[in-house]
């Protein structure tokens, strides 16, 4: 076992931090570390915090971590913010909302940029979660970028998904739409001291009544993250969902689903990287040019790219 | 302008990670935000801590975020009080390979002391932001 991994298992936070970087960057060393750590992951309760920009995800995550610290648990937090699609740069500002936790050695906050991933998370998110998990945090929070309607990837990364809503942000038709609300295990109306909170709670209740129940209805809780109101009850609801997964046999099923998704999406990335590596730029540019000029449709162009690939393999 | 296609390749190439922090009690963070924005536009991942950070908070954030670079903004005049303590806190956590720079209202006479502390550059009002971005790219050490 490499020195840094030994230090990681001994609880060295600097080793954790450096391993997170290497794993996020997908370097050969990072891959090697992950191989060694992965068997020790799978113990943490992973909790996804999602909701629209400005809904209070970061503040609420900080408040939840504070409550869990009071209950004697260590907490890892991964906070994702968007990368620029043009420069690939990013401002990662979620830590600002978690100032109370900075000097608590029982909490570790890591910011990540989306680096071109879609779905509200980052390409290496599952690997980074596994590292935090293997380090021994019993609770690991994953905060998505501001997510509105269709960013449902978080459900495949976290065991419990918390959807953060706010009063006064849309009529009940928004809530009727398919997508993000369907993945929530716990619903929160944050900023519940604002007008319209009660109406939103009853709208969400009415909406959930229409969803075919599979034995458990997601609870709806009201919080004011900035004052801590409702936060202990939210921690209880998150724990309750984990107990439900354990007792219903849902945990195993969810782990299988998540593993399937992970393996397939990594395979997809590897294939795409191979195609990019093996396709001369002029070939790609030629096909792309024909599509842009409407001389070729994009599906045919993609098939030609793949045919080329297979032809190369056959040689 | 078209977004560059990086997601498709699955590569998550190494990025320069920069911590921008404001130690001490002054609340004027326009400069820090402009520098953060310039570095973002320069392709860096910038962790912004906000104002009123203690030396321990800055060092702890740097540790957790595994940053390559730390930029400190200060306008209160307390740099010779606070910066040595920040450097001590960094060293006590084993963070001695991080590139340090600072900016704000800092007298020319203090440059030597700050350089001796490990600050590779001191940027004053009127600095072109591109100069700061270039400084970071020219001096950063990746593992």
Do the domain assignments include residue B7?
Answer: no
In a domain, B1, yes or no: no
Count of domains observed in chain B: 1
Q: Which residue, among B64, B86, B129, would best test binding to A if mutated, counting the most A CBs under 10 Å from its CB? A: B64
| pLDDT at A126 exceeding the cut of 60 | yes
Please compute the mean of the pLDDT values over residues B112-118 and round it to a whole number: 96
The token pair that represents B129 in the structure block: 């932001």
- In this prediction the pTM is 0.89
The reported pLDDT for the residue numbered B9 is 38
How does DSSP classify residue A84?
Answer: P
Q: Is B6 among the domain residues?
A: no
The dihedral through the CA atoms of A7, A9, A10, A14 has a sign that is: positive
pLDDT in tens, A218-249: 999 999 999 999 999 999 999 999 999 999 98
Q: Which CATH number covers residue B118? A: 3.40.50.280
Residue A120 sits at the chain B interface (C-beta within 8 Å): no
**Domains in chain A with CATH codes:** 41-260 (3.40.50.300), 261-314 (no CATH)
Q: Which residues from A are below 8 Å from B39, CB to CB? A: 89
Q: Among A27-36, A128-137, A139-148, A162-171, whose mean pLDDT is lowest?
A: A162-171
- Which residues of chain A neighbour B43 with C-beta distances below 8 Å? 87-89
Mean pLDDT of chain A: 89
The set of residues, in sequence order, having a beta carbon less than 8 Å from that of A141 and lying 6+ positions away, is: A46, A47, A48, A49, A61, A64, A65, A75, A76, A77, A78
Tokens of B123: 């940027």
Weakest mean pLDDT among A212-216, B3-7, B73-77: B3-7
In sequence order, which ranges of A43-102 are alpha helices (DSSP H)? 57-70
* A202 Cα to chain B: minimum distance (Å): 37
In a domain, B9, yes or no: no
Tell me, yes or no, if A85 comes closer than 8 A to chain B by beta carbon.
Answer: yes
Selecting from A109, A118, A270 the residue whose C-beta is nearest the C-beta of B10 gives A270
Judge whether A302 is closer than 8 Å to chain B, CB to CB.
no
Return the pLDDT at B2.
41
Give CA–CA dist A262/A154, Å, rounded: 12
B102/B143 Cα distance (integer angstroms): 23
Query: What local confidence, expressed as pLDDT, does residue A261 receive?
Result: 86
What are the Cα distances from residue A166, in Å, to A121, A193, A229, A314? 21, 10, 15, 57
| Neighboring chain A residues of B60 at a CB cutoff of 8 Å | 102-103
Question: CA angle, corner A139, sides to A136 and A144, nearest 5?
Answer: 120
Domain membership flag for residue B5? no
Q: What is the mean predicted confidence (pLDDT) over B84-107?
A: 96
Q: Rounded distance, CA A290 to CA A285, Å? A: 9
- Residues 6 or more apart whose CB falls under 8 angstroms from that of A71 comprise A235
Is B57 within 8 Å of A96 when comparing Cβ atoms?
no
Q: Give the residue numbers spanning the domain of B25.
A: 15-139
Rounded Cα distance, A225 and A64, in Å:
9
CB pairs under 8 A between A and B: 116
The distance of A49 to chain B (nearest Cα, Å) reads 20
pLDDT tens readout for residues B18-70: 999 999 888 888 999 999 999 999 999 999 998 899 999 999 999 999 999 99
Residue located via tokens 């084993």? B94
What pLDDT sits at residue B5?
Answer: 40
Task: Give pLDDT, residue A311.
Answer: 61
Per DSSP, helices labelled H in B9-124 are 30-41, 55-65, 79-92, 111-117
Give SS3 for A123: coil
Q: In terms of Cα–Cα distance, which of A301, A270, A283 is closest to A123?
A: A270
Q: Quickly count: other Cβ atoms within 10 Å of residue A35's Cβ.
A: 10
Tokens linked to A250: 């849902």
Comparing A112-126, B107-121, B129-143, the range with the smallest average pLDDT is: A112-126
Instruction: Using a CB–CB cutoff of 8 Å, tell me whether A137 touches chain B.
Output: no
C-alpha A192/C-alpha B82 separation (Å) is 40
- Residue B63 at interface with chain A, using a CB cutoff of 8 Å: yes
Closest CA to B16 of B68, B75, B72: B68
Based on the number of CB atoms within 10 Å of its own CB, is A303 exposed (0-12), middle (13-18) or buried (19 or more)?
Answer: exposed
Residue A69 has pLDDT above 90, yes or no: yes
């Amino acid at each position: 076992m490499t020195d840094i991994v030994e230090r990681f298992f001994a609880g060295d936070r600097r080793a954790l931090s450096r391993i997170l970087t290497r794993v996020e960057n997908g370097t050969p060393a990072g891959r090697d570390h992950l191989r060694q750590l992965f068997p020790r992951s799978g113990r943490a309760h992973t909790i996804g915090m999602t909701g629209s920009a400005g809904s209070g995800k970061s503040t609420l995550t900080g408040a939840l971590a504070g409550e869990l610290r009071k209950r004697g648990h260590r907490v890892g937090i991964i906070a994702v913010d968007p990368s620029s699609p043009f420069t690939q740069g990013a401002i990662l500002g979620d830590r600002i909302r978690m100032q109370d936790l900075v000097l608590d050695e029982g909490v570790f906050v890591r910011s990540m940029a989306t680096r071109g991933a879609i779905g509200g998370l980052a390409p290496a998110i599952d690997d980074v979660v596994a590292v935090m998990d293997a380090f021994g945090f019993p609770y690991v929070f994953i905060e998505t970028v501001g997510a509105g309607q269709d960013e449902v990837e978080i459900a495949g990364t976290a065991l419990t998904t918390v959807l953060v809503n706010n009063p006064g942000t849309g009529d009940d038709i928004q809530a009727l739409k398919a997508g993000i609300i369907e993945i929530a295990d716990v619903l929160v109306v944050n900023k519940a001291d604002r007008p319209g909170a009660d109406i939103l709670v009853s709208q969400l209740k009415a909406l959930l009544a229409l969803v075919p129940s599979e034995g458990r209805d997601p609870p709806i809780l009201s919080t004011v993250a900035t004052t801590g109101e409702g936060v202990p009850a939210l921690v209880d609801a998150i724990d309750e969902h984990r107990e439900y997964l354990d007792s219903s046999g849902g945990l195993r099923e969810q782990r299988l689903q998540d593993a399937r998704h992970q393996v397939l999406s990594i395979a997809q990335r590897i294939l795409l990287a191979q195609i990019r590596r093996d396709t001369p730029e002029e070939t790609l540019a030629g096909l792309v040019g024909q599509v842009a000029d409407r001389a070729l449709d994009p599906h045919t162009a993609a098939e030609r790219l793949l045919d080329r690939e297979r032809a190369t393999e056959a040689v | 302008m078209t977004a560059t296609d990086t997601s498709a390749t699955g590569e998550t190439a190494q990025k320069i990670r920069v911590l921008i922090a404001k130690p001490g009690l002054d609340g004027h963070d326009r400069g820090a935000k402009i520098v953060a924005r310039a570095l973002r536009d320069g392709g860096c991942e910038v962790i912004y801590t906000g104002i009123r950070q203690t030396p321990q908070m800055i060092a702890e954030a740097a540790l957790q975020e595994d940053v390559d670079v730390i930029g400190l903004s200060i306008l209160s005049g307390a740099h010779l009080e606070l910066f040595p303590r920040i450097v001590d806190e960094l060293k006590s956590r084993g963070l001695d390979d991080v590139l340090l720079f600072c900016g704000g209202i800092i007298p020319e006479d203090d440059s030597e002391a700050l350089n001796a502390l490990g600050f590779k550059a001191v940027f004053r009002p009127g600095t072109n932001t591109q100069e700061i971005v270039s400084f970071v790219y020219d001096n950063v050490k990746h593992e």
